[in-house]
Amino acid sequence: MTLARLARHGRYDYSPIVERRVFDWPGGKRLAVAICNNIEVFSFRDGLGSDNASISAPQTSRNYAWRDYGNRVGQWYLFDLLDEYRFPASHNFNSLLFEECPQIADRILRRGDEFVGHGRTNAERQDALDEGEERELIREASAAIVRYTGKPATGWLGPYLAQTPVTLDLLKEAEYRYVLDWPADDQPFWMRTRAGPILSVPYSIELNDSPAMVFRQQGTLDFERMMIDQFDEMLLQSAKWPLIYTIVLHPFVIGQPFRLRALRRALQHISARRDDLWTTTPGQIADFIYEHPAVTER
């Protein structure tokens, strides 16, 4: 079949990085560093969920327990490591965790970290829903965050980064300010919705422990090298343009002690250049863009 023309999404226009305005992040920095952590809950032997041995494995007690390790153990190792190196983090947080694992939410609140809307559970995908069902999913997940934390999330990452044709419209109508689902850039950019613009903030699916080590079956040392090489090259490139470096984590993956050791070495490497960095969160990045609209075009 030959396509006479490409299908287009209509959400943003092509904008090469070499033609954009140059600006500094707070403190005159040129590279922002954000750690994005995914804290997820799954349905026992039901729905969706990844497996550490086979991409297409059915849901079993074994892979449920492997993922549950992240909430029971790995996340707590990760919290302590972030405290040790004084890194803030954002947490893409399934709303059913408030019922299932409230102690995790309490630790996030004590750290002053950011909650990002991440659906109800990663046992489901929102792109399988009709518009009414998807609106209700967003409403339920958003309301749970407000009930527990006392304030709304401003950012959203869909489970599996999956969107329907109207997801952006529904998120804007639900008063979200930014999304992480469109890994098209190393800078924030505006996207069109039927209710006005919403901001896309960079979120790496390459520097992401789950795709790298679970789905592509890359080794821990590979991921460590990726984290360090990505950082070093982006720090070099940031002399020309302001950029955002993100590390994306899942505690049932990175929270295994042998993998945590690799993350420790990467954070130590990054920390050595801390004076050159804006260590931040996606929400703070979005706030900066909203407060300085002249640095990017709507």
The domain ranges of the chain are 22-42+58-293
How high is the pLDDT of residue 3? 77
Mean pLDDT in consecutive groups of 10 residues from the start of the chain, 298 residues: 86 96 97 98 95 89 97 98 98 98 98 98 97 98 98 97 97 98 97 98 97 94 98 98 98 98 98 98 98 80
pLDDT of residue 17: 96
What's the confidence (pLDDT) of residue 1?
Answer: 63
Contact between 137 and 126 under an 8 Å Cβ cutoff? The reply is yes
**Exposed (0-12), middle (13-18) or buried (19+): which is 236, by Cβ within 10 Å?**
exposed
pLDDT at 270: 98
Q: Which pLDDT score, from 0 to 100, does residue 7 have?
A: 92
Question: Phi first, then psi: what are they for 169, rounded to 5°?
Answer: -65, -45
**Taking the domain 22-42+58-293, which CATH number applies?**
3.20.20.370
Q: Which of 205, 198, 184, 108 is nearest to 149 (CA)?
A: 108
**If we measure between CA atoms, which residue out of 239, 288, 249 comes closest to residue 31?**
239
- From the centroid of its chain, how far is CA 188? 14
Question: Taking the C-alpha atoms of 283, 287, 290 and 292 in order, what is their torsion angle to the nearest 10 degrees?
Answer: -130
